[in-house]
Amino acid sequence: MAKPISIEVWNPSGKYRVVSTKSMPGTRWINLLTANDCRLEICTEKKTILSVDDILALIGDRCDGVIGQLTEEWGEVLFSALKRAGGTAFSNMAVGYNNVDVEAANRNAIAVGNTPGVLTETTAELAAALSVAAARRIVEADQFMRAGLYDGWLPHLFVGNLLKGQTVGVIGAGRIGSAYARMMIEGFKMNLIYYDLYQSTRLEKFVTAYGQFLKANGEQPVTWKRAATMEDVLREADVISLHPVLDKTTYHLINPERLAIMKKEAVLVNASRGPVIDEVALVEHLKANPMFRVGLDVFEDEPYMKPGLADMKNAVVVPHIASASKWTREGMATLAALNVLGKIKGYPVWGNPNMVEPFLKEDATPPAACPSIVNAKQLGLPSSKL
Ligand SMILES: NC(=O)c1ccc[n+]([C@@H]2O[C@H](COP(=O)([O-])OP(=O)(O)OC[C@H]3O[C@@H](n4cnc5c(N)ncnc54)[C@H](O)[C@@H]3O)[C@@H](O)[C@H]2O)c1
């Protein structure tokens, strides 16, 4: 018999059974579920990544909805089990949902929620931090200092790249990519080159207006360019940050051929999803080009790094923490809980998933809607008129 999974129970007499596969930050999401007649069961198992069998055990014979994590494989096995248990709702606590087989959810009539609108700035800030850390060799310098190796100022000590006046390249100029671009342009007065399947008119207008402002102040104006190909970005940019969704078109988007056309002293940042970069090829490139630097928040085989990456001084690596600000993580938990609660209650789907502020007001009752359901159309769910 399978080992029982340890859980913490809130509001044991609640009518609807909701499971969260992890404890999440804040208490508002718990209060919202329990105040709305949910019995909430939070998995307290020590292991970081739950297996499909663990989650099957959590779903059990009766379950109305599940809040899950991006480390879990949500496919036919889990969605059919949730359906058999009477469930209709699942929400990822993430904006990306490449761990979810949405077709399988559709087949089982399970709504799939995600949490956009609260990660944008936090994730962009981490990408900006990685850009600066890599360009200015901050982690290397920190390690040197702590090792007691500093014995006085030297002209060559940890010389890195100046960002001002250089070109920032953004691949995937959606919500996060655009926010990151603005930070680098406003913060460091970098010029922009971007590649996306769609034109980012708002971003272009912003750079034009900011350039005019700088010019009026007697400063060098910033410029923008929408590249016709991704290769143009890779060839021209000094700092390149990757922000596309992960799908078939972006898997190994950075491969040996594309690494080869980048500047030898370029900085490459990835806070999207690990498999967007061919990490084995990246390690080889880092070895061959010591002045090429990377800042990585995500990895191809998370939680592992490809052999050799950890030894590279020209790599800054952090453990998938791009959305890890208190405000964002509490907001993600609230949105994920409200996606599940809203579907259980039969609420419509919120009209604009990027405008989620009404759901986040601490002391106010949230709108009677699901904040963001990615397969609302396929399931024919009504849209909120609020
Ligand atoms: N590291 C983290 O903790 C973290 C946090 C949040 C989001 N993310 C990742 O960031 C991704 C982007 O989030 P977002 O909110 O900005 O999404 P978004 O949908 O607003 O933006 C994604 C952009 O990528 C573009 N795109 C898609 N395919 C492309 C291709 N082949 N080439 C170039 N551009 C392409 C889209 O047109 C879109 O503009 C998420 O899907 C998620 O995987 C990671």
Residue 2 lies in a domain: no
Residue 244 lies in a domain: yes
25 shares its domain with 85? yes
Q: Quickly count: other Cβ atoms within 10 Å of residue 104's Cβ.
A: 17
User: In this structure, which amino acid lies at residue 32?
Assistant: L
- Is residue 127 in contact with ligand 1, taking CB distance under 6 Å? no
* Residue 279: domain span: 120-317
Residue 359 lies in a domain: yes
CB 126 within 8 A of CB 271: yes
Q: Which of 317, 337, 366 is the last residue of a domain?
A: 317
- Ligand 1 centroid to 200 CA: how many Å? 13
107 shares its domain with 64? yes
CB 125 within 8 A of CB 269: no
- Ligand 1 centroid to 146 CA: how many Å? 36
Token look-up 């709108």 returns: 367
CB 63 within 8 A of CB 85: yes
Please name the helix (run of DSSP H) or strand (run of DSSP E) that holds residue 177, with its range, or none: helix 175-188
Which strands make up the sheet holding 89-92, listed edge to edge? Answer: 7-10, 38-43, 16-20, 65-68, 89-92, 111-113
CB 322 within 8 A of CB 295: no
299 shares its domain with 215? yes
Print pLDDT tens along the chain (386 aa).
567 899 999 999 999 999 999 999 999 999 999 999 999 999 999 999 999 999 999 999 999 999 999 999 999 999 999 999 999 999 999 999 999 999 999 999 999 999 999 999 999 999 999 999 999 999 999 999 999 999 999 999 999 999 999 999 999 999 999 999 999 999 999 999 999 999 999 999 999 999 999 999 999 999 999 999 999 999 999 999 999 999 999 999 999 999 999 999 999 999 999 999 999 999 999 999 999 999 999 999 999 999 999 999 999 999 999 999 999 999 999 999 999 999 999 999 999 988 999 999 988 999 999 999 999 999 999 998 66
Residue 384 lies in a domain: no
Q: Which residues are catalytic?
A: 273, 302, 320
- How many domains does the structure of the chain reveal? 2
**Nearest Cα residue to atom 29 of ligand 1:** 244
Three-state secondary structure call for residue 158: coil
Compute the distance between CA of residue 26 and CA of residue 31 in angstroms, rounded to an integer: 10
Report the candidate in 127, 322, 321 with the shortest Cα–Cα distance to residue 240. 127
What predicted TM-score, i.e. pTM, was given to this entire model? 0.93
CA 10, 16, 20, 21 dihedral sign is positive
Please name the helix (run of DSSP H) or strand (run of DSSP E) that holds residue 257, with its range, or none: helix 256-261
CB 114 within 8 A of CB 372: yes
- Ligand 1 centroid to 350 CA: how many Å? 21
Residue 109 lies in a domain: yes
60 shares its domain with 131? no
- Is residue 133 in contact with ligand 1, taking CB distance under 6 Å? no
16 shares its domain with 133? no
Compute the distance between CA of residue 113 and CA of residue 270 in angstroms, rounded to an integer: 24
Residue 216 burial (10 A CB sphere; 0-12, 13-18, 19+): exposed
Query: Which of 204, 245, 252 is the best mutation target for the ligand 1 pocket, counting ligand atoms within 8 Å of the beta carbon and taking the most?
Result: 245
CB 279 within 8 A of CB 298: no
Residue 108, sorted as left (phi over 0), alpha (psi -120 to 50) or beta, turns out to be alpha
Strands 267-270 and 191-195, sheet pairing:
unpaired
Please name the helix (run of DSSP H) or strand (run of DSSP E) that holds residue 195, with its range, or none: strand 191-195
Residue 386 lies in a domain: no
127 shares its domain with 228? yes
- Is residue 250 in contact with ligand 1, taking CB distance under 6 Å? yes
Compute the distance between CA of residue 227 and CA of residue 209 in angstroms, rounded to an integer: 20
What's the confidence (pLDDT) of residue 4? 82
Q: Which of 265, 287, 317 is the last residue of a domain?
A: 317
Rg of the chain in Å (alpha carbons): 23
User: In this structure, which amino acid lies at residue 192?
Assistant: L
224 shares its domain with 258? yes
- Is residue 72 in contact with ligand 1, taking CB distance under 6 Å? no
**Nearest Cα residue to atom 19 of ligand 1:** 174
CATH (domain of 221): 3.40.50.720
Relative to the CA of 200, which ligand 1 atom is closest? 39
Relative to the CA of 123, which ligand 1 atom is closest? 5
- Ligand 1 centroid to 59 CA: how many Å? 30
91, two tokens: 């929400």
User: In sequence order, what are the beta bridge partners of 304?
Assistant: 301
Q: Quickly count: other Cβ atoms within 10 Å of residue 331's Cβ.
A: 26
Report the candidate in 158, 154, 155 with the shortest Cα–Cα distance to residue 140. 158
340 shares its domain with 300? no
Relative to the CA of 120, which ligand 1 atom is closest? 15
CA-to-CA separations, 109 to 45, 83, 255, 338, in angstroms, rounded: 29, 8, 38, 18
